[in-house]
């Protein structure tokens, strides 16, 4: 069995972060998002992986490299023609997939479950397709299965009136019959080859389409609030590790992971976990609250931070409280009280969000 992982798309809902960074490299608990997909694939015993990237993209390969870190062999597949739907991703990957069964994993999904059980179900029941389902509060955001007598009879993409409270998550298993479907479906009203239409085609043509509900949590990280929630979920399983320096008098509470060469200073400093702090950071006279991820080479002074993701090389000294925030690479945040004339001085890119 092979695996196919998506790492394309424009990430429009995560702008301005994704103006300069492929969304699959956005850090969750200080680890690029796509690493979680690669870890799950490797854990399931799969060795050969195709990663579908935008045409001309070099970012993903520069970070993931050959995949040897996970014991994987990775081939990069450029998506020509732009983002034309998930079924199009499968279509352009046929030379890599051949006629082997494969796991299709959307690289912006993060799950707790071991995928081995899904693969066992798929193989044991001789299925042509297996869909991983999860109950959600807002199924209209996803592909939604219509279920009758315990069987999926149809899948609708982002329906206005969902016929169940299940979402088809970004994890699928297929055999070679999927290529018949992708070759025969037509583009949707938005001009894409929809993966939901693939599933409906398989069902209507008598193929064996099964499902399994995900146990534990699953998160599609399409929006900023989703990133923060995914960060919370990952940090909930954090194991403490202290590789940096913690000055006497600093208060450390809960599960904290501190990287090499980082220094936590100041008798006013409190770090309350779960919190992860990267390498070569300097934090002084701060409160770093639960569910915060601080990247590498970050400096923070005289600031409270909670439930936020701070990217690498940021510099923060603002005598204020920052919550529920994403702060991009090389950001500078200072106090408006320290400069004249007084007031908030802002340099803000397209599609930014600021609350003053």
Quick: pLDDT tens for 308-343. Answer: 999 999 999 988 899 999 888 888 888 766 666 666
Please determine whether the domains at 2-235 and 241-338 fall in the same fold group of CATH. Answer: no
Q: How confident is the model at residue 60 (pLDDT cuts 50, 70, 90)?
A: very high
What is the CB-side half-sphere exposure of residue 171 using CA atoms within 13 A?
28
Mean pLDDT within 257-275 = 96
Calculate what percentage of the chain has a pLDDT beyond 70.
91
CATH of region 2-235, choose from 3.90.1580.10, 3.90.550.10, 1.10.238.10, 3.30.10.20 = 3.90.550.10
For the chain, the domains span 2-235, 241-338
Mean pLDDT within 77-88 = 87
Q: Report which of 3, 18, 30, 4 is spatially closest to residue 222, judged by C-alpha positions.
A: 18
Instruction: Give CA–CA dist 162/29, Å, rounded.
Output: 33
Coil, helix or strand at residue 350: coil
Which pLDDT score is estimated for 11?
A: 61
Question: Taking a C-beta distance cutoff of 8 angstroms, is the pair 309, 291 a contact?
Answer: no
Calculate what percentage of the chain has a pLDDT beyond 90.
59
Largest CA-CA distance found in the chain, in angstroms, rounded: 72
Which pLDDT score is estimated for 298?
A: 97
Instruction: Give CA–CA dist 117/124, Å, rounded.
Output: 10
Question: 344 or 52: which carries more pLDDT confidence?
Answer: 52
CATH fold of the domain at 241-338: UDP N-Acetylglucosamine Acyltransferase; domain 1 (2.160.10)
Q: Report which of 296, 228, 221 is spatially closest to residue 257, judged by C-alpha positions.
A: 296
Mean pLDDT within 44-65 = 93
CB atoms within 10 A of CB 91: 18
Write down the mean pLDDT value for the chain.
89
- Distance of alpha carbon 308 from its chain centroid, rounded? 16
What is the CB-side half-sphere exposure of residue 244 using CA atoms within 13 A?
25
Coil, helix or strand at residue 282: strand
pLDDT in tens, 119-140: 999 999 999 999 988 888 888 8
pLDDT in tens, 295-311: 999 999 999 999 999 99
Which pLDDT score is estimated for 352?
A: 67
């Amino acid at each position: 069995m092979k695996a196919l992982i998506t790492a394309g798309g424009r990430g429009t809902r995560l702008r301005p972060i994704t103006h300069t960074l492929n969304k699959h490299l956005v850090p969750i608990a200080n680890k690029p998002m796509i690493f979680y997909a690669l870890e799950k694939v490797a854990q399931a015993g799969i060795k050969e992986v195709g990663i579908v990237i935008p045409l001309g993209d070099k970012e993903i390969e520069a970070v993931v490299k050959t995949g040897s870190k996970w014991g994987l062999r990775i081939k990069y597949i450029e998506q020509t023609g732009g983002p034309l739907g998930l079924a199009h991703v499968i279509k352009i990957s046929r030379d890599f997939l051949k006629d082997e069964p494969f796991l299709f994993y959307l690289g912006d999904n993060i799950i707790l479950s071991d995928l081995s059980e899904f693969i066992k179900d798929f193989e044991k029941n001789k299925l042509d397709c297996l869909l991983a389902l999860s109950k959600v509060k807002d199924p209209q955001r996803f592909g939604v299965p219509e279920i009758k007598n315990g069987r999926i009879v149809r899948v609708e993409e982002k329906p206005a009136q969902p016929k169940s409270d299940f979402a088809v998550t970004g994890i699928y298993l297929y055999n070679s019959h999927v290529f018949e479907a992708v070759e025969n479906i037509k583009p949707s009203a938005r001009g894409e080859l929809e993966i939901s239409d693939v599933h409906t085609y398989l069902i209507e043509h008598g193929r064996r389409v099964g499902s399994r509900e995900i146990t534990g949590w699953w998160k599609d990280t399409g929006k900023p609030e989703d990133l923060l929630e995914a960060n919370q979920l990952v940090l909930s399983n954090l194991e403490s590790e202290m590789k940096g320096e913690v000055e006497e008098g600093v208060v450390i509470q809960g599960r904290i992971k501190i990287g090499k060469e980082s220094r936590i200073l100041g008798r006013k400093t409190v770090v309350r976990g779960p919190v992860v702090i990267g390498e070569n950071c300097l934090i002084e006279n701060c409160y770093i609250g639960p569910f915060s991820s601080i990247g590498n080479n970050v400096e923070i002074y005289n600031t409270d931070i909670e439930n936020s993701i701070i990217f690498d090389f940021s510099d923060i000294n603002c005598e204020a409280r920052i919550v529920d925030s994403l702060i991009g690479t090389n950001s500078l945040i200072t106090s408006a009280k320290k400069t004249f004339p007084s007031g908030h001085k802002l340099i803000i890119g397209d599609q930014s969000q600021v609350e003053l």
